[in-house]
Amino acid sequence: MSDLYAVMGNPINHSKSPQIHSAFAEQTGQDLIYSAILVPLEKFKEEANSFFRNGLGLNVTVPFKEDAWQYADTYSSRALRAGAVNTLIKKEDGSIHADNTDGIGMVRDITINHDCAIAGKRVLVLGAGGAVRGILEPVLEEKPLEVVVANRTVSKAQALAIDFSDIGKIVGCGFDQIEGPFDLIINGTSASLSGELPPIPTSVIHAETTCYDMMYGAEPTVFNQWAESLNAAATLDGLGMLVEQAAESFNAWRGVRPESAPVISRIRDSLV
Ligand code: ATR
């Protein structure tokens, strides 16, 4: 019988994870079935118990990230730092280990897929919500010169900076306190979802600036359109992060790292 994996969420029909993991399995010759499970609200624990009777690993998406956290027995350092998990791994003794692969997925997309080093760079991160908390440890581990976290609610940016200050140089501020330019700008706000642009000065961009929006879509995000209009050196979106976080989960489950590039192209072509 094939090994079983799945993603749980509500809603779940929009999830690209089954398509991504099936492509990884085909590419690496791994015998597994990856399905999408629509879990009724309040039923995460029952569904996870039932799944793990035979299943080996789960991805978890909204609104069950908190439930998944509580379900786990042990946590990776990056999951602890992120305060959230997206991957559950059943270990040989039957215990459940939790990981968060979002941040490392984004860092691998930037540094490997796009050959853009973070080491030694001035990095601006926009936003201070859960998405940003999830990426800060892997970003700081790349040893940037400095990370500036800017947010509409300044206190949240300052609190994040304090929480991560033991890993590297990081400061928190409001959008009107940003002093550019920066080599890498990561948009981790949810502003793109509503077609809005965080109010940041144009002076953040210079001729060598790479801009990365953690969101993606068939069309460039509002943030990336803005960056392009200012002649940023590169504008990248979060589709590569989506595929890389999946590759990291796949690697944790199977001990095999799939090639992400062909899968990124395939998903990009299917975006409407
Ligand atoms: P997520 O899990 O996507 O990070 P979140 O925790 O709700 O979601 O965080 C959303 C982030 O986007 C926050 O940093 C939020 O700013 P506030 O902390 O001030 O709320 C930011 N955000 C959302 N809409 C925004 C907008 N229109 N302009 C600027 N920042 C915005």
CA 230 – ligand 1 centroid, Å: 23
Does 143 participate in catalysis according to the annotation? no
Q: So what's the pLDDT on residue 109? A: 98
Instruction: Specify the pLDDT at position 229.
Output: 97
CATH 3.40.50.720 region(s) of the chain?
103-237
Write out residues in the chain with pLDDT < 70, as ranges: none
* Contact of 174 with 198, CB cutoff 8 Å: no
Residue 187 pLDDT: 98
Q: Are 258 and 232 in contact (CB under 8 A)?
A: no
- Please give the CATH architecture assigned to the domain spanning 3-100+240-270: 3-Layer(aba) Sandwich (3.40)
Q: Is 131 marked as a binding-site residue?
A: yes
| 163 assigned to a ligand binding site | no
Ligand 1 pocket check for 155: Cβ under 6 Å: no
168: its two tokens: 């590297």
Q: Given this model, what pLDDT does residue 272 score? A: 81
pLDDT of residue 203: 97
Per the CATH hierarchy, to which homologous superfamily does domain 103-237 belong?
NAD(P)-binding Rossmann-like Domain (3.40.50.720)
Q: Is the ipTM of this complex over 0.95?
A: yes
For 116, the token pair is: 């853009």
Q: How far is the CA of 254 from the centre of ligand 1 (A)?
A: 35
pLDDT tens digits along 21-48: 999 999 999 999 999 999 999 999 999 9
At 42 the three-state DSSP class reads coil
pLDDT confidence of residue 17? 98
The reported pLDDT for the residue numbered 192 is: 84
